[in-house]
Amino acid sequence: MSTDLLQIGDVADRTGLSLRTIRHYEEVELLPEPQRSPGGFRLYSEQAVERLLLIKRMKPLDFTLEQMRDLIDIRDELARPRLGRARRSELTERLRAYHALVEHQLGRLRERVESAEAFARQLGDEID
């Protein structure tokens, strides 16, 4: 038996994403096209699930799907074994830039929490 493949509904269950979302990610090439069953059903590997979980963790940072694709692709290429030194250091540089951006977005996210907390307190007070 080949490594057990999942159909889209299983992937949705495992990731908490909707079918529509998963297909959409494929449309914009954030997720590679999966294999298909003879009848045309999408069949996903565990790798695909991991990629989706990674994307899900990234989502609150308000990146566009394109940025996420870019970032993940860099990361994936870096994980490959035989890679020229120049290429590797270029990729690392780009990843570092993304990391800075991530920290920045994280800051903004935290501000948003504070802003929301302020509103919640205000509302709480008004109710008495």
Partner DNA sequence: GAGGAACCCTACCCTCACGTGAGGGTAGGG
Partner DNA sequence: CCCTACCCTCACGTGAGGGTAGGGTTCCTC
Subset of residues 69 to 88 that bind a copy of itself, contact rule: CB under 8 A: 75, 78
**Integer Cα distance of 74 and 71 in angstroms:** 5
φ/ψ (deg, to 5) at 43: -130, 120
| Residue 24 binding: pick among DNA, a copy of itself, none (C-beta 5-8 Å cut-off by kind) | DNA
Total binding residues for a copy of itself by CB under 8 A? 33
Binding mask 58-77 for DNA (x = CB under 7 A): -x---xxxx-----------
Contact flag: residue 65 with a copy of itself (CB under 8 A): no
The binder of a copy of itself chosen from 19, 28, 83, 116 (CB under 8 A): 116
Shortest gap between Cβ of 36 and a copy of itself (angstroms)? 31
Please check whether residue 51 is in contact with residue 31, taking contact to mean a CB–CB distance below 8 angstroms: yes
CA dihedral 50, 52, 53, 56 (to 10 degrees): 160
User: Looking at residue 3, what DSSP letter applies?
Assistant: S
Contact flag: residue 51 with DNA (CB under 7 A): no
State the pairing for strand pair 42-44/6-7. antiparallel
